[in-house]
């Protein structure tokens, strides 16, 4: 993109710097206090770099350095970069779950971009919740914006095996519980599972959401799969800085990119990648901020039209994100489904997606499959309906054992995650391979924050018998690196009186993925009797951010945004004079 330079008085930052009033004098004086010459910033696009770097976030620990590359690109394009530290959402360490704080980072992003003298933005993130949080806030602020994905870490290695973070953690933890490996092997795995900065290198939530961001058109081409420690990641960050300046000159705001067509293409991409179920919640929330109504029905409709072509764990069986990158990355993947995409829509780098994908190729047909040799014939996530989930639930069926995709079994119910952890191995529960494990009070309000509890542990005695999958149902989420016949996001959640609150141990539950149904085999009269006896659980938070969260959070099927942020309406730019 080659755009004519904006005149200084056309820039948003001119309101702060360019007038003759006392406030502008003060703004210029304070900028001199920061050590900047007038020639460095006056009349130039000011680009905010929102950096989620932190010492406690291994996914983002390299972003302090990458911000320097972004600045280099901004300067090269004639802009003026300013770096802003924002909240870091570490999936690894933040409890009870960073999902509790996704909307807080979205608020911080929106208000920071609105309240400071900036003309455009570069957003730096990648760990699961940071991508949607940054883009939700930026969509509400609606400035010219580019997203810089943190990038996947290097593949793990242990005793000749290539390891995928998250996915192999679950696998070997079950092996330990089954008595197949011991403490020495686990100690070695601790040092071999995650070998570098960057987010999970499986097609977990982080890789799924950064791929969705690229599919939406808010990154430079190919950005989402570049390994975090590759020199190409530096070059991509510099290009993002240059692109942000060009977007300001063209006045291409985020609203011009985040269209209905873009979100449908992002859903198509996620499903064709066999991506994380978490993307369902996040894309619905992101679309809402962009004024686009995206629903569970859209996911199910699109899932029936797109095959899974990415042979990347855990939906695929073999490869990791570095393999995907060198096989052609997302441009190569999208080149194989162009008939399913809206090719005439704009991106941050090109006037049309068609132009952006020109020349994209796949270099390894086993990593990115051809249409006549898919990993699965249709999208990797199915949306379920039924009397147990009247507002919907989801299952990543390509990561489940096929014999469980049509299953009826007796429920074993746990009222909270701590109780489940403490009692799952109790022989008195009588859990068999046919049982359906049910966890409730783990949803948006009940969790609190809808933690990734949905891959419920299989009892030790079954693991020792070789059982590696069971039907599990909850109003929680699960890690995108997880796998199994796990029904998630049951809505409405049990904490607010959804049907999951009425299930009792011994009730039969039927899952039928092909029919897209989830049913509690209890008659309506009995359910009404149980509903009359149900009492709401105690309030989770009496004050603070948690109280605001509990009052405002919406259910999983509508994206778990805050009601006051999701509602339509305009917000005035501040007066800076």
Cα distance between the two ends of the chain: 33
Closest among 466, 464, 455 to 169, alpha carbons compared: 455
How far apart, in whole angstroms, are the C-alpha atoms of residue 522 and residue 509?
9
Mind listing the pLDDT tens digit for each residue in 380-424? 999 999 999 999 999 999 999 999 999 999 999 999 999 999 999
> Quick one: pLDDT at residue 369?
98
Question: Rounded distance, CA 135 to CA 105, Å?
Answer: 10
pLDDT at residue 1 in the model: 58
Residues 121, 546, 452, 487: is their CA dihedral positive or negative? negative
pTM, two decimals, is 0.96
Where the chain has pLDDT below 70, the residues are 1-3
| Tokens, residue 185 | 């092997």
Strands 471-474, 436-439: pairing kind: parallel
Asked whether the beta carbons of 284 and 295 are under 8 A apart, the reply is yes
3-state secondary structure 425-466: CCHHHCCCCCCEEEECCCCCCCCCCCCCCCCCCCCHHHHCCC
Q: Cα–Cα distances in Å, from 361 out to 149, 330, 337, 338? A: 21, 10, 12, 12
Spatial neighbors of 201 by CB under 8 A, at least 6 apart, are: 152, 153, 154, 155, 156, 164, 165, 207, 227, 320, 321, 322
Q: Do 451 and 439 touch, CB atoms closer than 8 A?
A: no
């Amino acid at each position: 993109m080659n755009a004519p330079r904006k005149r200084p008085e056309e820039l948003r930052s001119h309101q702060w710097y360019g007038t003759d009033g006392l406030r502008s004098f003060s703004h210029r004086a304070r900028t001199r206090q920061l050590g900047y010459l007038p020639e460095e910033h006056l009349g130039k696009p000011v680009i905010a770099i929102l950096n989620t770097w932190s010492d406690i976030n291994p996914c983002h620990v390299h972003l302090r350095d990458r911000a320097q590359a972004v600045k280099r690109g901004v300067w090269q394009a004639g802009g003026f970069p300013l770096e802003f530290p924002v909240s870091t959402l570490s999936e690894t360490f933040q409890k009870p779950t960073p999902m509790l704080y996704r909307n807080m980072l979205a608020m911080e992003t929106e208000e920071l971009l609105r309240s400071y003298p900036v003309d455009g933005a570069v957003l730096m993130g990648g760990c699961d919740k940071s991508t949607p949080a940054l883009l939700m806030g930026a969509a509400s602020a609606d400035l010219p914006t580019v997203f810089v994905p943190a990038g996947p870490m290097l593949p793990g290695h242990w005793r000749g095996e290539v390891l995928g973070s998250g996915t192999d953690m679950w696998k070997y933890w079950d092996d330990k519980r089954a008595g197949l490996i011991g403490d020495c092997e686990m100690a070695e795995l601790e040092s071999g599972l995650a070998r570098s900065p960057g987010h999970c290198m499986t097609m977990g939530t982080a890789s799924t959401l950064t791929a969705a961001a690229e599919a939406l058109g808010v990154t430079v081409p190919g950005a989402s799969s570049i390994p975090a420690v590759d020199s190409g990641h530096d070059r991509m960050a510099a290009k993002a800085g240059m692109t942000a300046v060009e977007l300001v000159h063209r006045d291409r705001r985020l609203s011009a990119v985040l269209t209905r067509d873009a979100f449908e293409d992002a859903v198509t991409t996620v499903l064709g990648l066999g991506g994380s179920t978490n993307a369902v919640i996040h894309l619905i929330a992101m679309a809402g901020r962009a004024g686009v109504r995206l629903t569970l029905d859209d996911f199910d409709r699109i899932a029936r039209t797109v095959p899974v072509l990415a042979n990347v764990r855990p939906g695929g069986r073999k490869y990791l994100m570095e393999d995907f990158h060198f096989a052609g990355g997302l441009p190569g993947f999208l080149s194989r489904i162009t008939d399913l995409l809206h090719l005439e829509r704009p991106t941050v780098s090109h006037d049309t997606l068609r132009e952006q994908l020109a020349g994209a190729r796949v270099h390894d047909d086993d990593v990115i499959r051809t249409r006549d040799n898919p990993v699965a014939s249709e999208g990797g996530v199915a949306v379920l309906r039924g009397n147990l989930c009247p507002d919907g639930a989801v299952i990543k069926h390509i990561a489940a054992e096929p014999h469980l995709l049509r299953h009826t079994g007796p429920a074993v119910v746990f009222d909270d995650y701590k109780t489940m952890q403490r009692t799952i191995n109790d022989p008195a529960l009588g859990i068999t391979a046919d049982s359906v494990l049910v966890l409730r009070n783990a949803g948006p309000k009940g969790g609190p924050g809808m933690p990734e509890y949905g891959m419920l542990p299989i009892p030790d005695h079954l693991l020792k018998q070789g059982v590696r999958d069971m039907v599990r149902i909850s109003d929680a989420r699960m890690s995108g690196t997880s796998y199994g016949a796990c029904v998630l996001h049951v809505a409405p959640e049990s904490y607010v009186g959804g049907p999951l609150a009425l299930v009792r141990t011994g009730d039969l539950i039927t899952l039928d993925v092909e029919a897209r149904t989830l049913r509690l085999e209890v008659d309506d009269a009995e359910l009404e009797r149980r509903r009359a006896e149900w009492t709401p659980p105690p309030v989770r938070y009496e004050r603070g951010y948690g109280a605001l969260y509990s009052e405002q959070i919406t259910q999983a099927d509508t994206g778990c945004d805050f009601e006051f942020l999701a509602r339509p309406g305009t917000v005035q730019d501040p007066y800076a004079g």
